[in-house]
Structure 1
Amino acid sequence: MGMISLRNAGHRAGDLLFSNLNLVVGEGDRVGLVAPNGRGKTTLLRAMAGLSELSEGEVTRSRGLAIGYVPQDVPEAALGQTPMQFVAGALDAATLDSESWRVDVVMEEFSIPEEFRHKPLGQLSGGWQRMALLAQAWVTQPDALLMDEPTNHLDLGRIGMLEQWLGYAAKNLPVIIASHDRAFLDASTNRTLFLRPSEQVYLPLPYSAARAELDQVDAAAEAQRERDLKQAAQLRKQAAKLTNIGINSGSDLLTVKSRQLRDRAEKIETRVQEVHRDRTGLVKLGNSGAEARVMLAFENVPVTTPDDRQLFTIEKLHVFQGDRIVLLGRNGTGKSQFMRLVTEALDGKVPAGMRLSPQLAPGYLDQALGWLPLDPSPLDYLLHRFDEGDRRTIALLAGAGFPPDRQGKPIRMLSLGQRARLALLALRLARPNFYLLDEPTNHLDIPGQEQLETDIREQGATTILVTHDRAFLRAIGTRFLLIEGRRLKEVDGPEQFLADMAG
């Protein structure tokens, strides 16, 4: 039976990412690895795969254990290879010579179309690159599978296919999945490891159930911490009173007693553990408000491709203030072109049949973050775009998780998760009352997703959203529009569409 074990594992990269991790992952264990961005998930997976070393502890693998590792991205050096070449490169020459059929089998298993198999990976979408990474890991016939953000860039259909594939093809293997996709974790895992700087939490439950139990554990720890600190404060108060009496009366006994009380208080304060909190630099969004009842109106507006091929017509649609509209549809039906139409209208190119409220103040967030410049530093970018002043901008960046030493580095040196936080901060400072969100959770960790959900719901901002994140769309949506059969229609909810996509 294949097995991976960790003993007193930990890692420092400047800050302490995690420590004191003792874990055994064996046959049939499907572990969801959960932590905020930059807290060591990828580091731990690479160490388990034997690709890097941890700064503390030991990683042990069963003798001869073959590990399939799925990284987040195709290596830059491989972008010129075709999927066939990329997947074949995982096999040694002898195996490739005698069992080259394996490559064709995994291509079929992951439904990679024939016309894409011979195109350079750099010319394929992020979703097809992701399928090539999965195929490369699987072609080696591994005994264990380690996956780093496997649903990134996948549409709902591919995510459903991946869930089903894990359920039968990798059923008995040890599987560890680092992901921010809560619905995927619920469907694909039976255990959850919450990675923390000090005490690790490992629960034999999928994500949502494990999270509920963890919240109770954390709440109990917080309550105990408050009781302990209150007791220590009372002891110090008593000690101070006895000290004053002892000084005034000249009693050495009271002075000794006072010192004993202070020692007891110090021991309590020393053993009180800091309650864990995800310090990821959460950015809170707002809603600048509007008096208009209708923010956007469409009547007989065609939605076309960039080369003017008509996809469907928006016959009649009013977007009311406070609506949170989720746009549903299979790939290729026109979701992206609908969002492009709205984006161009917000930039002043309003088509015939479409009306915008003059009070509308837009904010836009897309999955590629393509509007975010890469050359300036976060500090320079915000200072030149917004009139907030040096001191406030530095404080805002620090609050968003950018310590002073990172504020002056070029944006291109930031991780995608850090860029997403910077984009959210810019969105906050733009003070919109209308949000256009295209796959906004792609690079957000779970705390960031939950913060974004809370802000949009509680602030009441009008929103149009496209997302493949099922947990996010269920939490956000109040209206659902489905593109189907070259028509846009309103539906009661997302569940039938999600079930059709999973099937």
Structure 2
Amino acid sequence: PAPSPPPSRSQCRIQLRQVQKTYKNQTVLTDATWSFAAGDRVGLVGINGAGKSTQLRILARTESPDSGSMEVFPANVKVALLEQEVQLEDDRTLYEELASVFGGAHASRRRRAELEAELGESTSDVERVESLVEELTRLSVEADLDVEAGLMDRKIGAVMHQLGFDPRAGQRTLGSFSGGWKMRVCLARVLLQDPDVLLLDEPTNHLDVRAIEWLEAHLLALRLPMVVVSHDRQLLDRVCTSIVEVERGRTTSYRGNYTQYLLAKRAALARQWTAWEARVAEEARLKDMVARLSAGAGAGRASSAQRELEALRSGGAQRPFVPKKRAFSFPPIPSMGRLAVRLTGVGHHYGSSQACGDIETLRSPRASLETSHASKSPPAPSAPAWLFRDVTLDVSRGERVAVLGSNGAGKSTLLRLVAGLNQPAEGCVALGPHRAEPNYYAQSQADALDPGCSVEATLRLAAPLAAEHELKALLGRMQLGGGDSLARPVGALSGGEKARLALARFMLRGGSVLVLDEPTNHLDIPTKEVLEEALRAFEGAVVLASHDRFFLRKVATRVLTLEGGALTDHQGSFEDLLRRDAAERALSQRQDAELRDLRLMTVQSQSRRSRAER
């Protein structure tokens, strides 16, 4: 009989079985058992430090499990990993970065260019010229025979077009791209590897809302099996076909997207509680039977009940695990006036940043914190590149205002002006006259923590007079507690722990006007949910920038967009904005369709007239 054809890589299947992994005596995974196949888009979820990225590295074969196994079918499946933080060389061009994926072909082309340049300079040394010509001839012949080298430019051009790069962008240096476009560079590198399976670790980091929506659409169009680690709940909803939860070192698989996973988990938890309550009731009945019948004629029945009780205790339903509730709130604010902050004719341009000090300096009793920061700087000698101009805005007590815009539009600059950390190039920023006190959370707050400083010293920078038990209680609520939690150096904390510590320090500072720049960066989903509850309960004013659409839906009561140097007030929540955008897109699509029909009718009419004239 004819041999059966080898299995196609497009029909791949990968399975983890009872995988365990320990780092420095800390067990991260105890039983990771799950699988995925062609057509699956798996969302891997869990708190920070649960072992999600560890499993991606095991799947990518860059790390090995301590025990357990990974089965890959067929064996030649190619897996590519888009890591959470990729270091790119800013002075390298986009083309050089993408061509480096091809290894030998790119190195050969670069060497030929070097040889040609040296030949142009070497005229006196005959032996050297002969050596260069010989090497150049050999490399040229190899290049002519190398199919991959011939396809390299076409593949790079196709992927650049697929990801929306301008064809001329190949000669731009990587340092000239924004964070969102750098993510596309990393994704292009991964796609040029022609993978059968795609692994993505927090792919929405540093992306604005539009870039995230583009990424979602692109992932859906790829039609590759993939595993996505993300704290972006909306991306998990739109992209994923199944969810794998990592909790206390074990994995549980659920079919459906993130919302369906939450519903399924809630139903499973209800069933576990029902089984547990039934076990408790049965245990009480058997105990009572043993107590009543242990003496006399019923001793045999008592012995039988005792065996049932022991069997129930060893193999019966277990009490469901319920994570400890992370509850915190911002300090109560004194009564404040209706107006929190007012911007009048505010403009700012590159090179006009005049720092007013950090937030601790501004909050100190000695600081001259007047209600306004008006520009007193002389005009720039040459035409400045304005980020925005003529921004006029009132924010009132009780409002939670979200500022949206693409990367580089000036959102962070605007927030620093609102917080009083910089003066505007023109116009005036005024705090409300009655107890309007700003508190600022920077986008890179967690990264800016001093790694050599202890947790206690970090918190005391914000609250020098706080009692030790108050600091410990706050750390406990942020799940940073423990016997020596205050003495731990910041450098020993994980990325998620640093983010929670930065949030704890922010909370200690208080304030009636909270200004937050991308506060959900590096936070896991449970911590995001707690922050959402705390902000909704806050009685002062909130001004924030965020790319997390689920977070914006929960928190924002008013949405502004900063694009093209102008601030637009949409007078409604994020949900209202999405509904209006959807209606506008539908109207635009209808108008485009009507225009196409009109053009078609015009062409047909002209064609009929031409035939009639002939």
Q: Answer whether TM exceeds 0.5 for this pair.
A: yes
1:436-447 superposed matches below 5 A: 436-447=515-526
Moved more, 430-439 or 156-165: 430-439
Residue 71 of structure 1 is aligned with which of 59, 62, 83?
A: 83
CA contact (8 A) 2:326 2:527 kept: yes
Q: Which amino acid aligns with 2:344?
A: N
Structure 2 residue aligned with 1:273: 318
Structure 2 residue aligned with 1:373: 450
Distance 1:227 1:395, change over 3 A: farther
Q: CA-to-partner distance for each residue in 1:167-222, whole Å, 9 max, x for gaps?
A: 22x21x21111111011111211111112236532222011122122122123323
Separation (CA, whole Å) in 2 of partners of 1:404 and 1:124 = 45
1:39-188 superposed matches below 5 A: 39-61=50-72, 62-75=74-87, 81-94=92-105, 97-101=149-153, 102-112=155-165, 114=168, 118-119=172-173, 125-168=178-221, 170-171=222-223, 173-188=224-239
CA contact (8 A) 1:282 1:421 kept: no
Structure 1 residue aligned with 2:366: none
Shift of 1:334: 3.0
CA contact (8 A) 1:19 1:200 kept: no
Shift of 1:163: 1.4
Structure 2 residue aligned with 1:192: 243
CA contact (8 A) 2:272 2:317 kept: no
Structure 1 residue aligned with 2:374: none
Q: Give the aligned length.
A: 490
Separation (CA, whole Å) in 2 of partners of 1:266 and 1:391 = 43
Residue ranges of structure 2 left out of the alignment (5+ in a row): 1-10, 106-146, 353-383, 590-614
CA contact (8 A) 2:347 2:425 kept: no
Shift of 1:21: 3.6
Output the aligned Cα RMSD.
3.5
Moved more, 370-379 or 49-58: 370-379
Shift of 1:474: 0.9
| TM-score relative to the length of structure 2 | 0.71
Q: Which of these two proteins has the greater Rg computed from alpha carbons?
A: 2
1:228-377 superposed matches below 5 A: 228-229=279-280, 231-232=282-283, 236=287, 251=295, 265=309, 267-270=311-314, 271-278=316-323, 282=326, 284-308=328-352, 309=384, 310=386, 311-315=388-392, 317-344=393-420, 352=428, 354-369=430-445, 371-377=448-454
Shift of 1:27: 1.2
Corresponding residue SS for 2:519: coil
Distance 1:85 1:487, change over 3 A: closer
CA contact (8 A) 1:156 1:501 kept: no
Separation (CA, whole Å) in 1 of partners of 2:406 and 2:94 = 24
CA contact (8 A) 2:289 2:305 kept: yes
Corresponding residue SS for 2:471: helix
1:401 aligns with 2:479: yes
Structure 2 residue aligned with 1:224: 275
Moved more, 405-414 or 138-147: 405-414
Q: CA-to-partner distance for each residue in 1:387-417, whole Å, 9 max, x for gaps?
A: 3333443453244223346653432342321
Distance 1:486 1:398, change over 3 A: closer
Residue ranges of structure 1 left out of the alignment (5+ in a row): none
Distance 1:325 1:263, change over 3 A: farther
Residue 30 of structure 1 is aligned with which of 28, 37, 41?
A: 41
Corresponding residue SS for 1:200: strand
Shift of 1:116: 7.8
Q: CA-to-partner distance for each residue in 1:313-363, whole Å, 9 max, x for gaps?
A: 233x33222111111233444322211211226999997352334423433
Separation (CA, whole Å) in 1 of partners of 2:433 and 2:270 = 45
Distance 1:31 1:19, change over 3 A: same
Identity percentage over the alignment? Answer: 26
Shift of 1:134: 1.0
Q: Which amino acid aligns with 2:458?
A: Y
Distance 1:73 1:116, change over 3 A: farther
1:468-479 superposed matches below 5 A: 468-479=547-558
Distance 1:38 1:139, change over 3 A: same
Distance 1:59 1:235, change over 3 A: same
